[in-house]
Amino acid sequence: MSTPLEDLDARAQALMDDHRALIEVTGDQSTLPSWFKTWSHLKMRVQTLWIEQIVGQYQRPGDQTTDALHKRFTQYWLPELEQLDSRLREQAVQTGVESVNPAVSRLIASAPPPSPRMAELNQEFSRLTKQYQDVVSQHHFELGRTVLTMADADRLLRESQDRNEREAVWHAVKAVELASAPGLDDLFEKILSVRRAMAVEAGHPNYAAYIWQDRQDTIAGTEELLRTISDVYRDVDTSLHNHRAKVLGVTALRPWDLRVALVEPKSFDLPLDQYVPTALKVLNSLDAQFGEVVRQIQRHDGFDLAPRPGKPNGNICAHFMAEGRSVLVCNFTGGVNLFRGLLHEVGHAVHNHSISSNPEHVFWDFMNFWEVQEFYAFVFTYIGLLEFFELHDIAEEERTWYLRSTAERIMERFRDVEERTRLELWVYQQEQQPTTEEIDAQYLRLIRTSGVDWSGLEDILKKGWQKPHTFRFAFYNVDFAIAMIAALQFVHAFEQDRDAALERLKSSMLLGATTGSKQIFAAAGIEYPFQKDQLALARTVLAGWLG
């Protein structure tokens, strides 16, 4: 029996050998297509090892073997493999990969191999985000005599009808977060300086230009999109706040009032152990092909849905490209509302499985189209919920309850996207690296608090920018806004002609990232980039949900 570390070493060594063997193949035009396929498959096999480490960090954080494997892979094997990969990339360019796959050729040209300095910065960045993960995965607190995880707190803030309890939990969460805020400030300053150095190394004036320069895909640039979102959806936002205050019987909403379920629907209970069978039923009813994906994940034992102490908050769907299988690592406690989260992750899985089902697709077909990936996840969330209502004969007023709650989550995201992206544009466009005090101050200037009473809580409010994505993926969330707006438009089409909409959805899901977002959205029946009309159409769906 080999140890897990020996097993990793053997697999990584085999990959190294296969890389070296492919480097030895002096390709010409006739052998290039098969050479290119082999290269793509090597990249997928490297991704398998990478994803195993990431899933390990989510499933068994702090476990010695898991950490040793992660360290061994990221600090030893990955740099070695990346070096060999960059030689293959050079070879691909020299032998004229353009004739085999023009889209990949363009991608390669737009992202030159990392210089030794950039590789160093990438390494440093991974090290810092790992530190971030280590800090937040330790977050927990005691309430009375019970130790609560952040997932427990999250559940209480959503479920507790006792306002005093919510206030206590909210303050306890914020006390934990504030205690680590100075450490996270230091960490963010380091991340910021690494990102600034990356921009310099890549020859861009700043990190926003470096990361965000290609985004020509919104109304008229990111800032205009953000302004329009805020403009089009302000009424929905105000109406949700007013409704919430009225139902809770409070004159002013406080931060601990924002997430609690308003009037608990009672007639239908969905315990955690029914999540997978229910998802199977819902997806099967939409299309047998979707249901099959749930069955496949089940067969591979790929559902890890319950929270555990130390398990990081949040939900992920990890897809092994080489094998075409997905693993879901989540933190659900049961109930219809959280079931939406499972539909979201299963949506990612269905999309990934569709890409994997096309043998013509290459490594690059899975990558770097967040707005498209999230679009499918939200489509499955929304149409999955509607299908769930039908299958379980959920009463009308309960449907409205869940849809209102869904609309609230969407508006929460829109606000978050607007605030965070505007903050990030500011942070990364500054000539001098801003201090975290300056970031606090700028965040307070940008945040919209209308409808919520934050008085006396400014110290907490100003740290609102310390969210996972700010540390881990700059500008990540604009993709979410685009995805949600597109998914709402899809719901509109689905309600007009379900079969036609699903057929378009299925064929669009077969397209890989190298096809480009615009064409993928077009195949799904979504006009993109959005004009103001599309935002307004998406708003009519939301307004319909609010009754």
Q: Which residues bind Zn ion (CB under 5 A)?
A: 377
* Nearer to Zn ion among residue 374 and residue 440 (C-beta): 374
Query: Tokens standing for 173?
Result: 């969460």
Least spacing, CB of residue 322 vs Zn ion, in Å: 22
Instruction: Give the HSE-up count for residue 67: Cα atoms under 13 Å, Cβ half-sphere.
Output: 9
Instruction: Give the HSE-up count for residue 417: Cα atoms under 13 Å, Cβ half-sphere.
Output: 25
* Nearer to Zn ion among residue 78 and residue 377 (C-beta): 377
Least spacing, CB of residue 331 vs Zn ion, in Å: 14
* Nearer to Zn ion among residue 368 and residue 435 (C-beta): 368
194 near 128, Cβ under 8 Å?
A: yes
Q: Find the helix or strand (DSSP H, E) in which 347 lies.
A: helix 336-357
Least spacing, CB of residue 297 vs Zn ion, in Å: 16
Read off the DSSP letter of residue 515. G
Phi/psi at 310 (5° precision): 90, -20
Query: CA angle, corner 323, sides to 319 and 325, nearest 5?
Result: 40
Distance CA 278, CA 113 (A): 45
Least spacing, CB of residue 376 vs Zn ion, in Å: 9
Query: Tokens standing for 457?
Result: 């809580």
Write down the residue that tokens 């006390």 correspond to: 175
Least spacing, CB of residue 409 vs Zn ion, in Å: 13
Least spacing, CB of residue 477 vs Zn ion, in Å: 11
* Residue 292, burial from CB neighbour count under 10 angstroms (0-12, 13-18, 19+): middle
Closest CA to 230 of 42, 481, 21, 441: 481
Least spacing, CB of residue 347 vs Zn ion, in Å: 8
Least spacing, CB of residue 532 vs Zn ion, in Å: 26
* Nearer to Zn ion among residue 377 and residue 439 (C-beta): 377
Distance CA 78, CA 108 (A): 19
Distance CA 330, CA 64 (A): 22
383 near 506, Cβ under 8 Å?
A: no
Least spacing, CB of residue 298 vs Zn ion, in Å: 20
Least spacing, CB of residue 319 vs Zn ion, in Å: 12
Helical pair 478-496 and 370-391, crossing angle rounded to 10 deg: 40
Q: Which residue is nearest to Zn ion (CB)?
A: 377
Strand runs labelled E in 170-306: 303-304
* Nearer to Zn ion among residue 343 and residue 377 (C-beta): 377
* Nearer to Zn ion among residue 173 and residue 410 (C-beta): 410
How would you classify the pairing of strands 146-149 and 303-304? unpaired
Query: Tokens standing for 408?
Result: 């609230």
Least spacing, CB of residue 317 vs Zn ion, in Å: 7
* Residue 224, burial from CB neighbour count under 10 angstroms (0-12, 13-18, 19+): exposed
Distance CA 501, CA 519 (A): 16
What is the number of other CB atoms lying within 10 angstroms of the CB of residue 364?
Answer: 17
Please give the C-alpha separations between residue 446 and each of 218, 416, 481, 501, in angstroms, as whole numbers.
21, 11, 18, 39
Least spacing, CB of residue 315 vs Zn ion, in Å: 8
What pairs with residue 325 in β-bridges? 320
How would you classify the pairing of strands 316-320 and 325-329? antiparallel
* Nearer to Zn ion among residue 206 and residue 406 (C-beta): 406
* Nearer to Zn ion among residue 33 and residue 314 (C-beta): 314
* Nearer to Zn ion among residue 480 and residue 528 (C-beta): 480
Residues with Cβ within 8 Å of 436's Cβ and at least 6 positions away in sequence, in order, are 185, 188, 189
Least spacing, CB of residue 36 vs Zn ion, in Å: 30
* Nearer to Zn ion among residue 280 and residue 377 (C-beta): 377
Phi/psi at 371 (5° precision): -60, -35
278 near 388, Cβ under 8 Å?
A: yes
* Nearer to Zn ion among residue 219 and residue 377 (C-beta): 377
* Nearer to Zn ion among residue 91 and residue 315 (C-beta): 315
493 near 525, Cβ under 8 Å?
A: yes
Least spacing, CB of residue 343 vs Zn ion, in Å: 11
* Nearer to Zn ion among residue 92 and residue 520 (C-beta): 520
* Nearer to Zn ion among residue 255 and residue 347 (C-beta): 347
